[in-house]
Amino acid sequence: MRIVVLGLGVVVACFGVLWALQGFGVLGGSPMSNTTTWSIIGPITALVGVAIAGYGARMRK
């Protein structure tokens, strides 16, 4: 269960970073590029993912 929660947190954090980069205009070619909405949602999602991964890393075996 610990590995699943940790993996889920990493995946969510990666999606958050991807959305943030698209929102900031670093990654182009998407309707999400240079959009303020994704510039806000992305970092929040990344932080939630890091929190989930941190929780998964601290779980008992």
Alpha-carbon span 43 to 24, nearest angstrom: 11
Range of the domain at 30: 2-58
Q: Please count the structural domains in the chain.
A: 1
**How many Cβ atoms from other residues are within 10 Å of residue 14's Cβ?**
13
Grade residue 60 by pLDDT with cuts at 50, 70 and 90.
Answer: confident
pLDDT of residue 48: 98
Alpha-carbon span 14 to 27, nearest angstrom: 14
Indicate left, alpha or beta for 27 from its phi (over 0: left) and psi (-120 to 50: alpha).
Answer: beta
How many residues in the chain?
A: 61
pLDDT tens digits, one per residue of 8-54: 999 999 999 999 999 999 988 889 899 999 999 999 999 999 999 99
